[in-house]
Amino acid sequence: MLGFGNHIRRLNFLSIFLTAMPQPALTRTHNWLLTNPRRLAQVAIATTAALTIGHALPAEAQPARLTSRNPNSTINVRTAPTTQSAAPNYGIAGDRVEILSQTSGSDGYTWYRVRFVASGVQGWVRGDFVVPLAATAVRPTLPSIAPPEPSPIASPRPTVSPTPTARYTTEQINYFLEIALGAEFGSSDAVIRKWNAPIRIRVTGRPTSEDMRSLQAVIRDLNGLVQGTSLSIDNNNSNVEMVFAPESEFRRYEPNYQPTNMGFGWIWWNQNTLNRARILISTTGITQQERSHLIREELTQSLGLMQDSYRYPDSMFYQGWTDPTQFSAIDRTVISMLYRPEIRAGMTRSQVVRVLQSLNVAAPTATAPATSNQPLDFSLGAP
């Protein structure tokens, strides 16, 4: 079983609960998430553009971690040891890396060529963002994926709609790994979970006419994005129940409910294939737009996209509170990626990476996404 919720008056979702039978229950609380903000999936996925500049590759790569004065800032991973080079990837403070080589840059800084332990990404990071560690690291075996031809400025918000044959950008793949895997930090629960049968929704409680219009709009949007399943309203033969009721009554409908969540969901699965869900939407204490947002968010998360992120404020999966009632472009991409037939229930992170690598190799070159602001080299104030 797996649960998720949304506290509408706080800047993060209150709880994520993961239980895979017959494994013991695993509960991840709001406070645990706040004290462990780094997400393993936030490391970059891959780059083959890193230049072999600097000292020779050491016999044993030195372990290190990324650091920054601002723990929420992004740290550029560049193609060459200079701020004038492209930064197709990025990391965040706390990410574990291995130092492969180093050189003195023309800016007077030491630059390290690093490889991310979790993903195998390689690139150059300025020395004041890298803290070498004492122990010798074991080289990772996870594969790396070549991103599509990058534009000169990294694009953390792709705006192209996904197509079955399009290449995925590094930002899209990063976000998918962050949102779609069921648990953090490489635990045994960090696998893909998804439906492989039609999703039939029974609506109970006291929905408004606008609630029903919102639900029908979400179903229509999701049916245009997923493969291998479909969504419909079916009050006679359902596997998903959506309850509209006051938040104070939620526990009557779902014993696992965690108080103060205005939207809450609980999901059951068998061998990582989702087969049943219950979604609770509050009819009190929130506006109609907030309810329409929660309908979209909770139903979308019940597809298997259970994680949250601070990356994109316009995303349905944003960790802070927002109330969009439409999917962003990257939301649409992530949803469609999960329901590609090549992405199967039970896949681990490394297996997903290999699949996405093969898709990018096989696909024709796609139109480059629109550019947006590049992540900053934090200590410079500007790249």
pLDDT in tens, 130-170: 999 875 433 443 443 334 433 333 333 333 344 444 578 88
Q: Where would I find the beta strands (DSSP E) of 42-109?
A: 62-66, 74-77, 89-92, 96-104
Q: Are 258 and 5 in contact (CB under 8 A)?
A: yes
3-state secondary structure of 28: strand
pLDDT of res. 3: 60
Answer yes or no: are the C-beta atoms of 272 and 283 closer than 8 Å: no
45, 145 contact by CB (below 8 A): yes
Task: State both tokens at 53.
Answer: 């500049």
Which pLDDT score is estimated for 106?
87
pLDDT at residue 310, rounded to an integer: 84
Report pLDDT for 253. Answer: 93
Query: What is the distance between the alpha carbons of residues 318 and 10, in angstroms, rounded to a whole number?
Result: 12
What does each of the 383 residues of the chain score in pLDDT, given as a tens digit?
556 656 443 323 333 333 333 333 332 222 222 233 333 233 232 322 232 233 333 446 899 988 887 766 678 899 999 999 988 887 888 888 999 999 998 888 899 999 988 777 899 999 999 999 875 433 443 443 334 433 333 333 333 344 444 578 888 888 999 999 864 333 446 899 999 999 999 999 999 999 999 999 999 999 999 999 999 999 999 999 999 999 999 999 999 888 888 999 899 999 999 999 999 999 999 999 999 999 999 999 999 998 888 888 889 888 777 788 899 999 999 999 999 999 999 999 899 988 988 887 655 543 433 333 333 222 222 23
Composition of the chain by helix, strand, coil, percent to 5: 20, 25, 55
pLDDT value for 331: 94
**Tokens 């419909």 — which residue?**
232
Buried residues in 129-138 as b, exposed as e (16+ CB within 10 A): bbeeeeeebe
pTM of the predicted structure, to 2 decimals: 0.56
d(CA 343, CA 351): 9
Give residue 309's pLDDT: 85
Largest pairwise CA distance in the chain: 70
Residues in the chain: 383
N- to C-terminal Cα distance for the chain?
45
The DSSP symbol for 58 reads P
Strands (DSSP E) found in 156-287: 194-195, 199-205, 231-233, 240-245, 263-270, 273-282
Q: Which of 217, 168, 202, 176 is nearest to 324 (CA)?
A: 217
> What is the CB neighbour count within 10 angstroms for residue 123?
30
